[in-house]
Amino acid sequence: MDKSDSLTILLVDDDLDVLGAIARFLRTHDIGVVVAESAHTALQRLQEQHIDAIVTDLRMPKSNGLQFAVSARETRPLIPIVFFSGYAQVPDVVAAMKLGAVEFLEKPIDPDELLKVINRVRISHHGTLTTQRLAFDGLDQGYPLKMRVLAYEKYLIESSLLQHGGHISSVLESLQVNRRTLNDKMSKLGIKRDALIADTVAGNSKPAD
Amino acid sequence: MDKSDSLTILLVDDDLDVLGAIARFLRTHDIGVVVAESAHTALQRLQEQHIDAIVTDLRMPKSNGLQFAVSARETRPLIPIVFFSGYAQVPDVVAAMKLGAVEFLEKPIDPDELLKVINRVRISHHGTLTTQRLAFDGLDQGYPLKMRVLAYEKYLIESSLLQHGGHISSVLESLQVNRRTLNDKMSKLGIKRDALIADTVAGNSKPAD
DNA sequence: CTGAAATAGGCAATAAATTGCCGACACCAG
DNA sequence: CTGGTGTCGGCAATTTATTGCCTATTTCAG
């Protein structure tokens, strides 16, 4: 299946067996995979082509995963990063999560679990959402408070819409907001319900998480 | 400014020896400590009195620390929470950090380290901005849109204040907001400039509600 | 086809936020 | 002490947001 909305992830691990196995698995599930066996290579790939998310081993021979993540964030400030590791210590995990990791998996990796995580990324960073996240989160300086708050509000509403499959009444209940207010906000913030729900029909529209 | 105990933390652990020892240590460092030996008691304390931050064991006989944290957040959505545990598994740590934990310490607790963490909390969630952000959109859905947006706005203002060392005029420029508006927001959101700029020295506690 | 349910938008009353202007207070250098 | 700077809050005019009421449109089951 060729899907225009499929994700491309950057998979980083020094163990080529693991790299190959996971890459194969993900590709059979319509996820584009770019592999790299070192942090150095990974950073190159990150600059060469479009990557939607990073899945990386925490422990690698030369540069460790955290260091790599920091470098990666310099290029792509808010790219979602998923770590995995076989012998993670608590401080490592804490550091990774503080960096804003979306998930931290243990080796050996359960492919289905990884797939679930990636699908979650697919949803929360979908299309217009990604732009919004950048708007309110990445550019720490230079944007007025009001604009950033509005961008966040837009992001929250779009997320809720996606999570409820475009079902407005559910969103109203979830966000506990007046129906008229929500409509006005969506109009003002340029949120198109139709566009959002059309986006998700191809993949999983329900994050059963 | 009141020079007495400016910060009150809620310390939760089923091990009474640990509870007593840490409480004593913290009290000698001018930190108010309310102790609870169970999640149930802790939730009561949380409603009875003003608590600035929670320090809790992850593993407790009856209810686990995560469950407790979720309940605590229902009462105090953005209260800083520090976890500690002796036998933490990776998924536990990940879950705790996703909940927006400020820090995750390992048992046995190094008192000085805990003190350092608490002092970071004292200047209002300093440091791990990413973690803080996760606390917003990683937090369970179920909080009204308005509350979440306000929480984010509060976070933005506090961050900017910290970043500019409490210089209001710099914050005004950075956030491009009217001075009168910023003052009003700070007042409404319970942001105390004095408390934020008081560096490692004790400042005012903030009755953040 | 018909009617119920879900969604969207117009309009107007009400509530809240924004902002300029004024004065007050603290602090510091001269 | 005095004047300058930075901060804070009261007040009121203006703007914006919220929300209830009403109607239109679409969708879908019967």
Choose the closest CB to B176 out of A104, A145, A176. A145
| Strand C nucleotides, any atom under 7 Å to a protein CB | 6-11, 17-21
Residue B71 in this model has a pLDDT that exceeds 70: yes
Closest approach of A1 to chain B, Cα-based (Å): 32
What pLDDT shows up at residue B181?
Answer: 94
Residue by residue, DSSP assigns B30-47 as T-EEEEESSHHHHHHHHH
**Do the chains contact at B93 and A98, CB–CB below 8 Å?**
no
Q: What is the mean pLDDT of residues A27-49?
A: 91
* pLDDT above 90 as % of chain A: 32
Is pLDDT above 90 for B72?
no
Predicted confidence band of residue A6 (pLDDT cuts 50, 70, 90): low
pLDDT for the residue numbered A166? 83
- Residues in B lying within 8 Å of A, measured between beta carbons: 88, 90-91, 93-94, 97-98, 103-104, 106, 128, 130-131, 133-134, 136-137, 141-146, 148-149, 152-153, 156-157, 174-177
For the CA of A204 and the C1' of D16, the distance in angstroms is: 39
The superfamily CATH assigns to domain B8-122 is Response regulator (3.40.50.2300)
Residues β-bridged to residue B104:
B83
- C1’ D14 / CA A124, Å: 39
- Checking if the pLDDT of A22 tops 90, the result is yes
Distance CA B29, CA A108 (A): 44
Say whether the CB atom of A187 is under 7 angstroms from strand D: no
All structural domains of chain A with their residue ranges: 8-124, 128-200
| Minimum CA–C1' distance nucleotide for A170 | C6
Spatial contact of B74 and B48, defined as CB atoms under 8 Å apart: no
User: Amino acid identity, residue B87?
Assistant: Y
Side-chain-side CA neighbours of A65 within 13 Å: the count stands at 29
Residue A203 CB-half CA count within 13 A = 26
Where is pLDDT greater, at A51 or B178?
A: B178
* Residue % of chain B over a pLDDT of 70: 76
Q: Is the CB of A167 under 7 A from strand D?
A: no
Q: What is the DSSP string of A17-62?
A: HHHHHHHHHHHTTT-EEEEESSHHHHHHHHHHS--SEEEEES--SS
Q: Is the domain A8-124 a CATH 3.40.50.2300 member?
A: yes
Model confidence at B5: pLDDT above 50: no
Whether the pLDDT of residue A17 is over 90: the answer is: yes
Percent of chain A predicted with pLDDT > 70: 77
Is B100 or A82 the better-scoring residue by pLDDT? Answer: A82
Q: pLDDT tens digits, residue range A52-70?
A: 889 999 988 777 888 888 7
Q: How many alpha carbons fall within 13 Å on the CB side of residue A85?
A: 22
Q: Which of B94, B178, B182 is most worth mutating to test chain A (most A CB atoms within 10 A of its CB)?
A: B94
Distance from residue A24's CA to nucleotide D19's C1', rounded to whole Å = 54
Peptide bond into B91 cis (omega under 30): no
Q: Do A94 and B91 touch (CB under 8 A)?
A: no
Number of C-beta neighbours around residue B187 at 10 A: 10
Confidence of residue A104 (pLDDT cuts 50, 70, 90): very high
- Domain spanning B129-197: CATH 3.30.450: no
Distance CA A151, CA B98 (A): 22
Which of B85, B103, B152 has the most A C-beta neighbours within 10 Å, making it the best mutation to test the interface with A?
B152
pLDDT tens per residue, range B113-167: 999 888 777 654 433 333 344 444 444 456 788 888 888 888 888 878 877 878 8
CB atoms within 10 A of CB A50: 9
Residue A137: pLDDT band with limits 50, 70, 90: very low
- Flag if A159 and B152 touch (Cβ within 8 Å): no
Which of B180, B198, B190 lies closest to B3 in space, CA to CA? B198
Nucleotides of D under 7 A from a protein CB: 6-11, 17-21
Query: Which nucleotide's C1' atom has the smallest distance to the CA of B167?
Result: D6
pLDDT at site B70? 76
Band of pLDDT at residue B6, cut at 50, 70 and 90: low
- For B123 and C27, how far is CA from C1' in angstroms? 23
Closest CB to B94: pick one of A93, A136, A143: A93
Q: Is the CB of B178 under 7 A from strand D?
A: no
Q: Which residue bears the tokens 């995995």?
A: A84
